[in-house]
Amino acid sequence: MIILHQGPGAWGVANISPFCLKAESYLRMAGVPYTARQADFRRSPKGKIPFIEEEGAWVGDSQLIIEHCKRKHGDPLDAKLGAEEVATGHLVRRVLEESTYWHIVYVRWAMEEGWRAYRPIFEGILPPVIGKVAVPMIRRKVLRALHAQGLGRHRPEEILEMGKADISAVARVLGDKPFLLGEQPTSFDATVYAFIASITAFPVDSPFRAYTREQQNLVRYVERFQQRYFANGSPPA
């Protein structure tokens, strides 16, 4: 049985971390049994969440977790995909994880109203006394990372246009298909669901969230996905 180490849920989604939400979504989609635990970062092989342990193997990184699961538990979602579908899925996944992710970071950590909503959730993850001291330091570290990545150097209106371009591209590729690549779910949907839901569920009405919520196909997709894979709330024991 896999133990999934991850962050907490909030705002009606199973995890505040899009990467944790992706990993948990995959496990549910692929029918891999798991239990979930609040992560202790000191035990993380890569110093980030999510990570898993299974029979003495520790795997960090959501994508490496998926690859581990495919090797160990089979590949019920992607085995029949053609090379072009895999390429499309890969590109969408990379956009969401390497670009859109930073827009999520910007809204939560850099925008003052986003930070006001996110701070108490984030503080709740840390031990009470440590939290108050550590959180401002962690915020400075995250803002430095946002600057180093590049997005944090732009003006708010430029950031918004860049984020909208990502969302618009994902909405266009999804179109009116039930899943990213067609009628059947694939591992790429774990990323699409996790990142779009992380934007639409966050309880601050940023222009980025408003734009994402205007994409009706994405909103319906998130609702369908949640209904199908998260209707039972807590993880299967």
Ligand X SMILES: N[C@@H](CCC(=O)N[C@@H](CS)C(=O)NCC(=O)O)C(=O)O
Write out the residues near ligand X by the rule CB under 6 A.
17-19, 47-50, 61-63
Residue 36 sits at φ, ψ, to 5 deg, of: -110, 145
| Cβ distance to ligand X smaller for residue 97 or 180 | 97
The minimum distance between CB 114 and ligand X, in angstroms, equals 15
Strand order in the sheet with 51-54: 34-38, 2-6, 51-54, 57-60
Quote the least distance from Cβ 12 to ligand X, whole Å. 18
Please confirm whether the linkage preceding 8 is cis (ω < 30° from 0).
Answer: no
Q: Judged by CB, which is closer to ligand X: 49, or 181? A: 49
Paired strand residues for 53: 3, 58
Q: How far is the CB of 140 from ligand X (least distance, A)?
A: 13
Q: Shortest Cβ distance from residue 80 to ligand X (Å)?
A: 24
The CA–CA distances, whole Å, from 97 to 11, 31, 62, 192 equal: 21, 23, 10, 9
Residue placing its CB nearer to ligand X in the complex, 66 or 160: 66
Closest residue to bound ligand X by CB: 48
- Supply the minimum distance, in Å, between the C-beta of residue 127 and ligand X: 17
Residue 47 or 182: the one with the smaller Cβ distance to ligand X is 47
**Six-digit token pair at 158?**
């430029």
Q: Which two tokens stand for residue 176?
A: 């009116």
Which residue number, 191 or 215, has a Cβ lying nearer to ligand X?
Answer: 191
Give the C-alpha separation, 201 to 219, whole Å. 10
Residue 220 CB coordination number (10 Å):
13
Alpha helices, DSSP H, located in the chain: 18-30, 62-73, 83-94, 101-105, 112-125, 128-149, 156-174, 187-200, 207-214, 216-229
Q: Least CB distance from residue 167 to ligand X, whole Å?
A: 18
CB-wise, 90 or 172, nearer to ligand X? 90
Tokens for 82?
């053609």
Q: Which is nearer to ligand X, 47 or 156 (CB)?
A: 47
To ligand X, the closest distance from the beta carbon of 63 in angstroms equals 5
Instruction: Output Rg (C-alpha) for the chain, integer angstroms.
Output: 17
